[in-house]
Homo-oligomer: A and B are copies of this chain.
Amino acid sequence: MRVEPDIATVARAIGEPARAAMLLQLMDGETHTARRLAEVAGIAPSTASAHLRVLCASGLVHATDAGRRRLHRLAGPEVAQLVEALAALAPPRLPGSLQPSPPTDALLTARICYGHLAGRLGVDIAARLRRDDVVPALEPGGTAAVPDLHHPLLAELGIRDLDPARPAVRACVDWSHGAVHLAGALGAALLTGLLAAGWVRRRPAGRALRITTTGRKCLAELGF
């Protein structure tokens, strides 16, 4: 008797361009209305309704009724990790310099990845904290504890302690640069700290972040 897991239905739920676009939008960790998700996917609201039913049925998305509208969010961090794992495998890493995408783009510079910082800035900060021995060397997907938080960047952002309920730091593969950035409690604290300090600001739509002029100045002073 076969008891193979039914990975096909889960993958099929993701393997539709409109639904994939919705999931990527939900990767910002926020809740979104059906209308907004229809917009980012470029489809009619009625079509989006059917798609969202599929995503909810497959356990990838949770929906809660809130008055006349319905709020959707990712079902959990495992879903976010799955989406990132797919994204890391998506462009089969064409060898050499054949990169059709423009070298500079808002999403590549800085973006939100399910509650933590990703993109060029996320990768750079991760490399810096690694170099300064704040975080240990990490395999992609690996987690670790953070012994002490003594670092000029963390001090500047007012990060003095971490949420003990979640793993202190997790290495999340960054699909855009082939390196890792920091998730976990420290990754979340970095994002909120950067936003609170006004160094980065959320763009009106999507997951992309904009680095403010003051942020650029302060980061440069720290050696970024």
Residues of A within 8 A of B (CB): 1-17, 19-21, 23-24, 58-60, 78-79, 81-83, 85-92, 101-102, 105, 107-108, 138-139, 141-144, 167, 170, 175-176
Contact = CB atoms under 8 A, between A and B. Distances in A.
Contact of A8 (B16, B59, B85, B139): B16
A167 B142 CA distance: 11
A73 to B, nearest CB: 16
Contact of A3 (B8, B23, B101): B101
Contacts of A139: 142-143, 167, 170
A85 B88 contact: no
Nearest to A90: B5
Nearest to A83: B7
A8 B91 CA distance: 11
A140 to B, nearest CB: 8
Contacts of A105: 1, 3
Contact of A10 (B86, B108, B170): B86
28 contacts: A1-B102, A3-B102, A4-B24, A5-B87, A5-B90, A5-B91, A7-B20, A7-B23, A7-B83, A7-B86, A8-B15, A8-B19, A10-B89, A11-B14, A12-B12, A13-B15, A14-B15, A15-B15, A82-B86, A85-B85, A138-B143, A139-B142, A139-B143, A139-B167, A141-B142, A141-B143, A142-B142, A142-B143
